[in-house]
């Protein structure tokens, strides 16, 4: 070795030991984020059918309003009856498509007399009342349509997308939430299931 040869800086072994762990940690964190994002729900948009709700098993929120006919409506006063609340907007395609099934369901329940479930339509905020009236007169449906001018009921039930349907038992407890369209047979079957559960307890 000559006197003027440039010494090579020693490569520190510690550096080589730490680097793989740093890379591994970064990969693990990225993989964890990927898994969380891939498995998380994108919200209520992808839900159709029976869905969870914080209201299930609890007394239904207070609903005091009026129907389109101007009759006062208080959900608490419906205790003793099975109540089906269908959240609706006359501008919503699935709601319009679902409507004939609700007409059928209503007729089925009326066939049971006083023990049949009561059906109510709950409007969304800002729904044009004239459009709702016209839709019902064109497509049938003689059950009460309840206004929700301040949106309180929609928020209390956590309804973001219509249609949604809730079943409330005679104790005023919310027992089922259905997101999206529902047909009359399914709705009748679900009401009957809840009746059976209710009577068994």
Partner 1 sequence: MSSAANLKRWPGWVLLFLVVACFLAYGTAKDAGPLTPEQRVEEITKHIACPVCDGETVYESANPASAAIRAEVKAQVAAGLRSDDEIVAYVVQQFGEQTQLLPKASGFDALVWMLPAAALVCAGVGLFFAFRRWKRNADAIPDDDDRAMVEKALAAEVNLDGS
Site for partner 1 in 34-73 (CB under 8 A): 41-45, 54
Name which position in 132, 148, 163, 191 contacts partner 1 (CB under 8 A): 148
Which residues 73-102 are close enough to bind partner 1 by CB under 8 A? 89
Q: Which 3 state secondary structure label does DSSP give 133?
A: helix
Q: Which is nearer to partner 1, 80 or 151 (CB)?
A: 151
Applying CB under 8 A, among 65, 154, 188, 194 the residue interacting with partner 1 is 154
Dihedral of the alpha carbons of 74, 76, 77, 79, in degrees to the nearest 10: 140
Task: Report the nearest approach of partner 1 to the CB of residue 160 (Å).
Answer: 4
Identity of the residue, 125 or 186, whose beta carbon is nearer to partner 1 in the bound complex: 125
Q: By the 8 A CB rule, do 58 and 138 touch?
A: no
- The DSSP letter of residue 178 is E
Q: How far is the CB of 19 from partner 1 (least distance, A)?
A: 11
Q: For residue 35, what are the CA distances in angstroms to 38, 74, 163, 184?
A: 5, 46, 31, 39
Residue 7 DSSP label: P
Cis peptide upstream of residue 163 (ω within 30 degrees of 0): yes
134, 155, 192, 193: which one binds partner 1 (CB under 8 A)? 155
| Spatial distance between the Cα atoms of 105 and 90, rounded to a whole number of angstroms | 19
Stretch that binds partner 1, among 77-85, 106-114, 158-166, 171-179 (CB under 8 A): 158-166
Site size toward partner 1 (CB under 8 A) is 33
Q: Name 51's Cβ contacts closer than 8 Å, sequence gap at least 6.
A: 44, 177, 178, 179
- Minimum separation from the CB atom of position 35 to partner 1 (A): 12
Binding region for partner 1 (CB under 8 A) out of 4-12, 67-75, 98-106, 187-195: 4-12
**DSSP secondary structure letters along 56-98:** TTSBPPP-EEEBTTS-EEEGGGGTTS-EEEEEE-TT-HHHHHH
160 part of the interface to partner 1, by CB under 8 A: yes
- Kindly list the residues in this chain that would bind partner 1 in the complex (CB under 8 A): 3-4, 6-7, 9, 12, 15, 22, 29, 41-45, 54, 89, 124-127, 148, 150-152, 154-162
């Amino acid at each position: 070795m000559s006197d003027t040869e440039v010494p090579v800086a020693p490569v520190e072994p510690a550096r080589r030991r730490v680097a793989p762990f740093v890379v591994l940690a970064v990969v693990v964190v990225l993989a964890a984020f990927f898994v969380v994002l891939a498995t998380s729900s994108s919200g209520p948009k992808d839900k159709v059918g029976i869905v969870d709700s914080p209201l299930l098993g609890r007394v239904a929120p207070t609903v005091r309003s009026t129907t389109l006919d101007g009759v006062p409506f208080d959900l608490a006063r419906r205790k003793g009856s099975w109540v089906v609340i269908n959240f609706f907007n006359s501008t919503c395609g699935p709601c319009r498509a679902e409507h004939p099934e609700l007409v059928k369901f209503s007729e089925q329940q009326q066939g049971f007399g006083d023990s049949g479930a009561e059906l109510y339509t709950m409007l969304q905020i800002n729904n044009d009342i004239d459009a709702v009236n016209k839709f019902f007169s064109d497509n049938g449906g003689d059950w009460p349509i309840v206004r929700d001018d301040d949106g309180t009921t929609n928020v209390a039930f956590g309804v973001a997308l219509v249609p949604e349907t809730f079943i409330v038992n005679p104790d005023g407890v919310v027992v089922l939430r259905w997101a999206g369209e529902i047909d009359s047979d399914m709705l009748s079957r679900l009401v009957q299931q809840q009746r059976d559960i209710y009577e068994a307890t």
